[in-house]
Amino acid sequence: MDENQPSRGFLFTVFLISGASLAYQVLSIRLLSIVSWHHLAYMVMSLALLGYGVSGTFILLASRLIERAPELAYVINAVLFGISSVGCFLAAQTLLVNPAQMLWEGQQVVRMATMYLLLSLPFFFASNCIAIAIVRHKRHLHRVYAVDLFGAGLGALGVVLVLHALSPGATLKLLGCVALIAAALAWSTLGCRPRSVSAYLALCALLAPLALSQPWAELRPQEYKGLQQALKVVGTRIVTERSGPLGLLQVLESPKVPFRIAPGLSLNTPALPPEQLALFTDADAMTAITRFDGDLRPLAFLAYMPSAAPYRLLKNPRVLILGAGGGMEVLQALYHRARRIDAVEQNSQVIGLVRDHYRDYTGALYARDPVHIHVAEARGYIATAAESFDIIQIALLEAFNTSASGLYALNESYLYTVEAFRQTLRNLAPDGLLAVTRWVKVPPRDELKLFATAVAALRAEGVEHPARQLAWLRGWRTSTLLVKNGKFRQADLRELREFCRTRSFDLAYLPGMKAHEANRYNLLPEPYFFTAAEALLGDDADVFADRYKFDIKPATDDRPYFFQWFKWPVLKEAFASRGAGGYALLDLGYLMLLATLIQALVLSVLLILLPLRFINRRGPSGPRALKVKSACYFFAVGLGFMLIEVGFFQRFVLYLSHPLYAMSVVLTGFLVFAGAGSMTLARHATPQAAVKRAVTAIVVITLIYQAMLPMLFAATLAWNDAAKIAITLMVIAPLAYFMGRPYPAALQTISERAPLLIPWAWGINGCASVLGAVLAMVISIDLGLSAVVYLAALLYVLAATLRL
Amino acid sequence: MSRTIPRRAYRLRRAALCSLGILLIAARGVGAGEPDEYGPARLRMVDTIEEEFRWTASMVGPLDPAVAEIMRKVPRHRFVPDDYQGHAYLNQPLPIGYGQTISQPYIVALMTGLLDVKSTAVMLEIGTGSGYQAAVLAELVKEVYTIEIIEPLAKLARERLRRLGKHNVHTRIGDGYFGWEEHAPFDGIMVTAAGDHIPPPLVRQLEPGGKLVMPVGGFLTQYLVLVEKAGDGSVTTRQLLPVRFVPLTGDH
């Protein structure tokens, strides 16, 4: 390697390593979601990414050593990236971490820290490669940086494509091989001796999958996961498996102790569930595939669940099921003789299982008349559906335990927002019903948020008396809210009362209902539901929501966190009453997010400040003011980049109707166009001028987008996917192009004035990116997505005023 | 000063005698002839539970003294894996392997008390787990029938209960959904391994006047469900929060 232009071959290895590293980042979240839990995956991976930050510090400290043989250092780091990407994950999955147990047990914290450490190693080695390349080609660093961004962008896209064909475990091994091939190519293109090493490395890459085909290299979900527990029952086994980017699907049969899945089934039921198979997604979230042979009689139990209430009011309805899953709600509609059933499911593999693989078992449920199945995301479907429906059912999809612990708090959901409800109401035929079923929690949380959302949506639609269009009933385990497109009639109310009486379900709210009618069969300490309904329909709804100890204010598209209920005062009470089970009151998701932010902040500050001691001893590092300015500048730019990326990503999730595809398109778009911005940087007279122009453009474009994007999205939401992806990329292109410039432009400046600061700046950028991702989440939960984008623009302005 | 010394000495003597007595009682629960190094810890655990009940009594009622007495005797450390024996008498849930947990002692005391059964009662437990709950019930009632779905866990529990001489506990490996028909009806049923609904067959096997208790949640108990079958066969359920908590501020 020399100080001249990097060769194309070498840049290709940078491309491969960057791509594999970002692919590994996406894949690790998938892998950890399978062996552990999604929220834990998010926290672990956020902190593991600090490996990027550590890398800057390491390169700085080891600069003398690396300078002696940078080529060797590059290849060694590439090899270690390949080995650690597979090895560290396999080691990390053996650590049994149970988030709930962490509240009691210090040992769990140590295991968690070990997990961070193990998973940060691959990022550390990959980042070392890029940092070494940037330092060695500092005159052309914008090109190296651009290739790094191109690689990362295509890595994000590539891994999603690969996950369609390979299992997550096989994809992991593939990434390890890609890193080893990059090392082999680097050895060759850098002219290292002996040449045979290159061949050996390539051979290792080819043989590695064989070596890793042993049982010890398989994914091992933690024993607390639903799948593992189900498998402990004698005779239970996995009979079918499908893997895709949306999740690992596993179907279990249990002939000795049959599955009986019927959420909230009434104790008065005359019939029990028939034979069922259990469908697990990512080794958790169990739903049922129910045996059906065309005879409706064995399905009688489906009339004894709160979700059956709308069928009591409407005969032979046209039904839309949002979240078809294994088909229980579809069967329920069929049992109640719906004349047309449209069922929406976002995972085509779930549909494939029920429609094709279990065609005979399910009585061709997804292929029989009058069922019409659609592969789509629910919000996207209702936004574009031309028909109107008599009943729209939002199925209960998430598992109770995960839901009850508030672990979905970090998952944005555009299905339970005021805007989504308004859209859904418009899709209802006159007198049609929207039915939403939730798990019952004590005291209630999301159930009340749901009611508040419905009230807000009705008001926003111009309904003067929302109270007349709402009915709410609950069993001991689930509650169902009915929102009618029109007023409930007395006959409707009589039917609902009878429905509840015969099933021992409680009336949570009915128009004109008296207080003594509430809380009769399933006694709560107080009639929480009725009290809340009355308050939320009254003039003091806001006061009630403020006084309620959980966050029950409606979710909106700007703050789409329906599952976030945490409020600070509960923490104190939960801790004080931990001896009586008080921790169960805590919503762990938000707390884990904050814990992640605090840990990331402390570690970042350490990683940024620690190297300064060494920089001072090592000669030409520039004046102190330059260091302070550099630190602030790179931190602001790193944070700003991430905040914009996350802020816009969330909006595109809604537009593209799918988190995973939105992530691929948005991430790839941002990184590739930012790479293009960096690549063309040399055309500018001075780096300062480039920064000024770029920041001006970023701020202007951001503000325009804030105002215009909702309109653009509304106008084009019904367009086909290809057109929407094209629009997304066109929207991202100019913004990302300019976002790709401030970082390499300033790096050029310091490469001339204080080259020692380059790896430090690289580390700061890494830390800021990690912090930015977590901070964006915290801000969007607390203040909304708009606040995230405005803060990002402010940070860019701040960076420009530093005039680095 | 001269007066306080003998008084203190008297108090110490009294405390020592009391402790000895309690230790002897506690040792009786562990097993004849076995030293009980955890006796004092067990007493402290029950003190902690009593303290918690003083706080939560307004929500869940007082601690049943008979249950407290039994929990002073039953050696919880014998029901947890070796690694966790040191934690056995802390008021916290513990993992017992196979993805299962042993409930927080406070929750055990609360659920047992909620059943409100007589010494002549016949009990059914669905989900033996470690066997600790069955061991507590065994001291309280005439017969305990307990069913566990996970075979190795059931075998471990059976062996533990046998060693502790709980001969009135009858274990079975298998499906608890349909209860234990041969020994029905039951005066009380405890379902510690709940699915997404209460199995209706269990309610049918409940004696009129009997109660069924079920915790909802995983490692942390979210709430308890108490099913009460009246003399006329009608059924009501109650959902209880184990903790003193009012969801509205300023409404204590």
| Phi, psi dihedral angles at B189 (to 5 degrees) | -130, 135
Asked if residue A83 lies in contact with residue A125, where contact means CB atoms within 8 angstroms, the answer is: no
Q: Average the pLDDT over A608-622 and give the result.
A: 70
CATH number for position A525: 3.40.50.150
CA distances from B135 to A119, B119, B138 (A): 43, 14, 5
Question: What was the pLDDT predicted at A506?
Answer: 96
pLDDT digits 0-9 by tens, A652-701: 888 887 777 788 899 899 999 999 999 988 766 688 888 999 999 999 99
Measured between beta carbons, which residues in chain B are less than 8 angstroms from residue A529? none
Distances (CA, A) of B59 to A524, A699, B251: 11, 56, 14
Q: With CB atoms and an 8 Å threshold, state whether A521 touches B236.
A: yes
B 31-60 residues inside an 8 A Cβ radius of A: 48-49, 51-52, 55-56, 59
Is residue A501 in a domain?
yes
Instruction: Return the higher-pLDDT residue of A113 and A336.
Output: A336
H helical segments located in A93-195? 99-102, 106-136, 141-165, 168-189
CB contact under 8 A, B237 and A269: no
User: Residue A24 in contact with residue A179, Cβ under 8 Å?
Assistant: no
Chain position carrying tokens 């920064």: A691
Contacts for A653 with CB less than 8 Å, ≥ 6 apart: A412, A414, A659, A662, A663
- Residue A610 falls inside a structural domain: yes
Chosen domain end from A257, A281, A305: A281
> Both A523 and A630 in a single domain?
no
Domain ends where: A202, A221, A240? A221
Dihedral sign for Cα atoms in the order A582, A587, A590, A596: positive
- Partner-chain contact B177 A504, CB within 8 Å: no
Let me know if B165 is exposed, middle or buried by CB neighbors in 10 A (0-12, 13-18, 19+): exposed
- Kindly state whether residue A287 falls inside one of the protein's structural domains: no
Greatest distance between any 2 Cα atoms in chain B: 70
User: What is the ipTM for the molecules in this complex?
Assistant: 0.83
Residue A329 lies in a domain: yes
A531, A569: one domain? no
Q: Is the pLDDT of residue B27 over 60?
A: no
Buried b (16+ CB within 10 A) or exposed e, A610-628: ebeeebeeeeebbeeebbe
Residues A559 and A569 placed together within one structural domain of the fold: no
Phi and psi at A473, nearest 5°, equal -135, 160
Delineate the domains of chain B, giving CATH numbers in brackets: 93-240 (3.40.50.150)
* Angstroms from B214 CA to nearest CA on chain A: 12
Last residue of a domain, one of A236, A259, A281: A281
Which of B128, B129, B115, B142 lies closest to B206 in space, CA to CA? B115
What pLDDT digit, counting tens, does each position of A44-56 carry? 878 888 888 889 8
Q: Are residues A531 and A650 in the same domain?
A: no
Do A342 and A374 touch, CB atoms closer than 8 A?
yes
Structural domain of A50: 1-221
Give the residue on A whose Cα is nearest the Cα of B237: A522
Whole-number pLDDT of residue A399: 61
Give yes or no for a contact between A420 and A383, defined as CB atoms under 8 angstroms apart: no
Which residues of chain B are within 8 Å of residue A233 when distances are taken between CB atoms? 149-150
The CATH number of residue A179's host domain is 1.20.1250
Per-residue pLDDT tens digits for A124-152: 999 999 999 998 898 888 899 999 999 99
- Label residue B127 left, alpha or beta by phi (over 0 means left) and psi (-120 to 50 means alpha): left
Q: Are residues A497 and A544 in the same domain?
A: yes
Q: By mean pLDDT, which of A26-30, A620-624, B122-126 is the weakest?
A: A620-624
Structure tokens at A508: 């949570």
Q: Where are the beta strands (DSSP E) in A522-603?
A: 522-523
Mean pLDDT to the nearest integer, A64-72: 90
> In B35-62, which positions are buried (b, 16+ CB within 10 angstroms) versus exposed (e)?
ebebbebbbebbebbeebbebbeeebee
Q: Are residues A391 and A416 in the same domain?
A: yes
Q: Do A641 and A743 have their domain in common?
A: yes
Nearest neighbour of A581 by CB, restricted to B221, B247, B248: B221
Q: Is residue A740 part of a domain?
A: yes
CA A722 from centroid of its chain's CA atoms: 23
Query: Is the confidence at residue B29, as pLDDT, over 50?
Result: no
Retrieve residue A421's tokens. Answer: 């409800």
Strands A318-322 and A340-345, bridge-based pairing = parallel
Q: Tens of pLDDT along A522-578?
A: 999 899 999 999 999 999 999 999 999 999 999 999 898 998 899 988 888 888 888
Please give the backbone phi and psi of residue B55, each rounded to the nearest 5 degrees, phi first.
-75, -40
A490: amino acid identity, one letter? Q
Q: What mean pLDDT do residues A319-339 have? A: 96
| Residue at A699 is within a domain | yes
Mean pLDDT of B49-68: 90
The rounded mean pLDDT for chain A is 90
**A588 → chain B, closest CA residue:** B220
**Among A108, A110, A222, A232, which would you mutate to test the B interface (most chain B Cβ atoms within 10 Å of its Cβ)?**
A232
- Length of chain A (residues): 804
What single-letter amino acid sits at A206? Answer: L
Taking residues A241-257, report their average pLDDT: 92
Contact yes or no for A101 and B219 at CB 8 A? yes
Give whichever of A160-169, A373-382, A429-438 has the largest mean pLDDT: A429-438
* Same domain assignment for residues A47 and A148: yes
Nearest residue in A to B149, CA atom: A233
Q: Is A472 exposed, middle or buried (0-12, 13-18, 19+ CB in 10 A)?
A: buried
Could you confirm whether B103 is annotated as catalytic?
A: yes
Per CB-CB distance under 8 Å, the chain A contacts of B98 are 223, 229, 232
Residue of B103, B119, B130, B234 with catalytic role: B103
- If asked whether residues A145 and A257 sit together in one domain, one would say no
Rounded to the nearest 5 degrees, what angle is found at the Cα of A396, between the Cα atoms of A395 and A401?
170
The verdict on residue A286 lying in a domain is no
> Which of B56, B223, B227 is the closest to A580 by Cβ?
B56
CB-hemisphere CA count at 13 Å for A643? 29
Burial class (CB in 10 A: 0-12, 13-18, 19+), A227: buried
Q: Are residues A543 and A575 in the same domain?
A: no
Give CA–CA dist A108/A612, Å, rounded. 33
Nearest-Cα distance to chain A for B123, in Å, is 20
Question: DSSP characters for A510-521?
Answer: -TT--GGGSSSS
Q: Does one domain contain both A551 and A578?
A: no
* Residues A357 and A414 placed together within one structural domain of the fold: yes
Handedness of CA A80, A84, A86, A87 (dihedral sign): positive
Q: How many domains does chain A contain in total?
A: 4
- Whether A743 is covered by a domain: the verdict is yes
Burial of B216 (0-12, 13-18, 19+ CB in 10 A): buried
